[in-house]
Structure 1
Amino acid sequence: MPCSSRSSNSCRMQLEHDVRRLEQLLEEERYMRSVLENALEHAAVKLSDLSLLPNEAQELLSHILTLETTITRLEEEFVSLHFQLIQERNERRLAEYRLKQVPLEALPLCSHPQPKIIDTTDPLSDTLVVQQEAATKLPRQVAVIGLSNQPNLLSEEIVRCMRNIFLSLAGSCKSASVSDIMPQQSTPSPTGNYSISPFWSSSEPPAISSSHVESPQVDLQCHSDLLASENSFDPYKSRDKLSWADIGNYGFVNELSWMSTGKEQLEFAAEALGQFRLLVEQLGRVNPIHLDGEERLAFWINIYNALMMHAYLAYGVPRGDMKLFSLMQKAAYTVGGHSFSASCIEYVILKMKLPIHRSQMSLLLALQKLKVSDEQKKSSIMKPEPLAAFALSCGMYSSPAVKIYTARNVREELESAQRDFMRASVGVSKKGKLLIPKLLHFFARGVVDDANLPAWVTHFLPPRQAAFVEHCVSQRRQRFLVSRAFGVLPFENHFRYLFFPDKLPC
């Protein structure tokens, strides 16, 4: 072999060796970077991986992890203390006002029943159910001490108490203050409970108007008994949607889309706020790890709903998803020695999916990783329960109604919540198009494809409504030759709460 040829082969072998060595070094660098990123993000890192790092890097990581743990704990304590401070400040302001401005004999500005202490020694007693006699009356008082060993009963009382506070703030001084502040006339709901609805504007027309009669697609005369009159209550009224005459259990909800936290209105809730504080304090002695699957699910749904309402009282109503996300991070309860924020409960403890039907909120959650300790994760439910989407209310117009969930019947109650929400929110446009809320469309993606969604929806409607929807969908498909015969209503994020009563009529 010529000398030049041997030299060329030698150089080539050397270059190949150098390339392999550099590739190996590059792979090692990539691997080390991955280990460092996982360590810094608190992901699972094996001890064998850490041993590959230089001693200085291992020591630095140890210090960083220690500092991160300390900072997280201090942040949780700060948020909890800040939340308690606001609560105590509001209660002190109430107490000072009552002592300085109002004689004890004249404290009630409206007629209220005398407080009554109810015996709760029997854990199965039905006497803990607090009936809201009217939106203008304060709720009767219940014994609130000693419920920490009955976590589910405690969570039920917490959400019940906060619901009654909201109703008191909305309806207590309706004759004096609401009419002065709100230009629109308030109207009673079908149950006679006081309903304040300033957000129904001209952009949301009545269910049936003269324009509907001109539409050739929907024959109103043949279906007049199915469709609502102009003044009927529709909890999810929207443009172009025809309202049902019968909306099922949502016909019995209390609606609250405005409230005042001024001194006069807070007077009516002062006593209930003191009771509420005693209930919340007992959460610190609850260990949710000891709850079984049904108990844990019902417990956290109730706590989430109460916490969101409490957050609105403490921080005010946020404008937009960005501020709502900030509020959900700040608002937290101490449960079993750990601080659980509203966002932590919804997306970690209850394992709800990112709300892609609310793009801004979904983006914020994706960008900002929720800080949750391993101990906190032990309190989460074992597997996701998609039906919780119809139980969790963040106080928005498109949110489902709030009701109290029990450990014994939580699965049946969630199925009922889905059916009730669909019956109240699904409708048909004046042109015969099926209309479904964005929340329902987001949920349905994990159940059925768009082509079969109308048929799936009809299974949850009463027979005659289902037949009407099927007829409208069939007509649209024949007329326009399209498979998607429905429209999606946007998620409306202005403030509004719907509250179910403790017991529904049979």
Structure 2
Amino acid sequence: MIVLPEDWQGKENQSCTNSFKRSKQSSCKVQTTRTPIKKLPTDNKSVQKRCNPHKRQQELRVNDQLIAEVRNPLPQEKPRGDDSPNIISENILKCLSTILMRMSSVKNAGPADDMPSLSAPKFLNSEGTEFWDPYGICLEFGKTDIGPYSELCAVEAKSFNPKRTANSLILLRRLKILLGKLATVNLENLNHQEKLAFWINVYNSCMMKAFIENGIPESPEMVVALMRKVRVYTASEVENQLEVAKREYLQAAIGISTSKFAIPKLLDWYLLDFAKDLESLLDWICLQLPCDVRKEALNFLEKRKTQPFSQFVQIIPYDFSFRYLLCT
């Protein structure tokens, strides 16, 4: 071991003190000091580090930062394009909807098809165009504008043939690829709207896939557990899309005549989710309807405000027959 002389130690302490006071200097002038002792590279390097506390602190901070980055890596950027969780969930739902359509006799049903025709009532609008009435509102309460629901396509249990897969082979392969992508998505960086749209799409996809693979529900309880409407929700518009879905459903499912205000059993079951009582529920329904229908509904309620609800409120029974209402 080499022992440094006292004059060297004094110069070392002096250099260290001066360099600490002069923070702008990057290193002390140990190298310029003459000494009869032979310099060893390893000892000289260690002395330089000890002589510059400021530089030593910087090195420690850099090391700490590197360790922190290894332990806590920066979050990865959100996947873009077809590999983003939301786009994957949207594509899965679209793929399943198309498969359901092709496995049913809704479209292009030729003479060879032995599947029964759809039972949903049809009507002609003022322009002579045929439209669907999924909930039978026009059938019972006269022709009325039921909104976008008149353009939906119903895939009913009796129109669905689980063996009709020949024209869906490519889509089934694409579905398998999309489901593989779904298994590897990372949801950590999604915001509230993105997560909401993602999980709604995934839930509806699971219901549709179960129907395709396992067949038609055999009991009313199983039917209630499944969704009757399937929409594709996007991350940027999910809040607006949910609001639109609610309003369009009410427009298609509420019936008003000269003596009756009809509401679906679904709203009666979940009344307390929307209002405190039946009177508040009717007011809430009116606010959701399109302008013309809203005026008609409000006028109807105003004329019967002294009558008991049992005289003019009609609860439309729930239809337990299984079907999907799809946008074409």
TM-score normalised by structure 1 residue count: 0.44
| Number of residue pairs aligned between Structure 1 and Structure 2 | 245
Residue of structure 2 in register with 1:168 after alignment: 102
Letter in 2 for 1:305: N
Choose 236-245 or 283-292, whichever is displaced more.
Answer: 236-245
**Structure 1: which 5+ runs fail to align?**
1-121, 125-145, 187-196, 209-223, 325-357, 362-393, 502-506
SS in 1 for 2:230: coil
- Would you say the 8 A contact 1:207–1:241 is kept in 2? no
Letter in 1 for 2:161: S
2: distance between equivalents of 1:255 and 1:240?
17
Among all aligned residue pairs of Structure 1 and Structure 2, give the percentage whose two residues are the same amino acid.
27
1:27-176 pair list within 5 angstroms: 123=80, 147=83, 150-170=84-104, 171=106, 174-176=109-111
Distance 1:242 1:172, change over 3 A: closer
Letter in 1 for 2:98: N
TM-align CA RMSD = 3.1
Distance 1:474 1:487, change over 3 A: same
1: distance between equivalents of 2:122 and 2:234?
37
Residue of structure 2 in register with 1:427 after alignment: 255
Distance 1:473 1:177, change over 3 A: farther
Distance 1:489 1:407, change over 3 A: same
1: distance between equivalents of 2:153 and 2:273?
31
1: distance between equivalents of 2:240 and 2:209?
27
- How far does residue 247 in structure 1 lie from its aligned partner after superposition? 1.6
SS in 2 for 1:241: helix
- Would you say the 8 A contact 2:256–2:297 is kept in 1? yes
Structure with the larger RCO, 1 or 2 (CA within 8 Å, 6+ apart): 2
Residue of structure 2 in register with 1:135 after alignment: none
- How far does residue 274 in structure 1 lie from its aligned partner after superposition? 0.8
* Matching residue within 266, 269, 289 for 2:168: 269
- Would you say the 8 A contact 1:432–1:476 is kept in 2? no
- How far does residue 151 in structure 1 lie from its aligned partner after superposition? 0.5
1:114-263 pair list within 5 angstroms: 123=80, 147=83, 150-170=84-104, 171=106, 174-178=109-113, 180-182=114-116, 186=117, 197-198=118-119, 200=120, 232-237=131-136, 241-257=140-156, 258-262=159-163
Deviations 1:457-488 (A, max 9, x none): 1112222212222333344445xx21454222
2: distance between equivalents of 1:156 and 1:275?
13
Deviations 1:72-102 (A, max 9, x none): xxxxxxxxxxxxxxxxxxxxxxxxxxxxxxx
1:394-409 pair list within 5 angstroms: 394-395=226-227, 399=228, 401-409=229-237
Letter in 1 for 2:180: E
Distance 1:239 1:465, change over 3 A: closer
- Would you say the 8 A contact 1:437–1:490 is kept in 2? yes
SS in 2 for 1:494: coil
1: distance between equivalents of 2:284 and 2:108?
45
* Matching residue within 438, 441, 458 for 2:286: 458
Structure with higher Rg: it is: 2
* Matching residue within 230, 242, 245 for 1:417: 245
Residue of structure 2 in register with 1:306 after alignment: 205
- Would you say the 8 A contact 2:132–2:152 is kept in 1? no
Q: Does 1:492 align with 2:283?
A: no
